Structure 1
């Protein structure tokens, strides 16, 4: 099932990058659906975060959107049309929709960075000069030019993740699905990954990312999909992550700005739903509030 949160409504078809309609998904031998009659819409140019506990179905959701997992029932809408899961239909779909998995080593096949980024375009049968142009462009966008000739096995985990994203970009995809792109990264690695995502967006790519990090989703996303035992709720970041009951069912905590303001008896909506440290500091300074030792006291 799918719940729309607050006043959120799906975008018009012309503004839709990707959608599911009444999708059920399960795995062989399973007695229950992983996704239960899910309908959702990914808007063009809209930042969409997918959240849920381990085993909730969020990775399966991304795999269905990418065409890697065929639903038992329902329809994937790609490019305004139902996805044909035959060979030709999936080939066309995977040129416009790319999935980058949580473990980059699942997607890195070549000896060095340049060869790996060019793997997909080469398999499309593109002329060598076109492959080179796409690889150079992707390396530049992801700030990987200095690593172009480095063996993949000599890269850090965060660098390998960025190389996997570069490979997807080289396919000139319209939609990029990122499964836990910041998992396992230190703060510097997280910042580098988010810079890479911003570069992709400037390049015209619609980005969907799954994450356990509610704070990341709060400061980054326009819209949020919360998956709870195969049931999806979709809405604006404010409606989704401001819904304490929904977060509790999903075994997720409130974003820290909402938790902090709530602990001070302050209603986030009255302060414009602050999303960053700078926003929260400005609110507290304006309202004369001084947090002390994990608590907060009004001066």
Structure 2
């Protein structure tokens, strides 16, 4: 059995290869990705954390499962909020063949899938990218989106400006210039693509401010209680989802569905159908 660290993965997993792999696996008829399971678990401090299991396989080739923990208070201890690991099994014998740390894999895969969606859904003349959030996913989202589109301006906003500045400094190491903005509403008004990578439970993007034709990308929320955009975004948007199963439990879709603001017929396609 082989074991790979986050550093191992980060050293070899480039954006071009990852984006191409995501596009290929989405249309592979032998690939199966059942609905993830989500569990609320106590964190020992009286708060709720999350534990997710995400299985998948390519028939006769490989079987894998990713286990993900989400502990919202980890930032106070200098730890990532989201942590993960992957187990891989031989698709013919079922033998365990590999394992890896999956923090880097998770952030890069999530960002790359976001970029795949923007590649197909954002306007061809989109020139301004706004990333909302400052966690580990933020610099990855900027890099992935910049790989599929040539933006004239890239901005990042966070509740703590110093953290937003840290994101800008990190992506600068990769040759990208990012401006830190402190007025989120003003930045939303001007943006052509908005990518939200927060853990918010209350909307941070207001639909009344989003200009026509803007591509709004909501990737931070993974549970019914989480919400990055308000109901006006749902009302105004042509809605596409990562997967229908995930959409059923993600607050930005599940809450408007429950309120009758969206209907199942409003979900026009999932990402695999777009590819």
Question: What interval of TM-score do these two structures reach, taking the shorter chain for normalisation?
Answer: 0.3 to 0.5
Structure with larger Rg: 1
TM-score (norm 2): 0.35
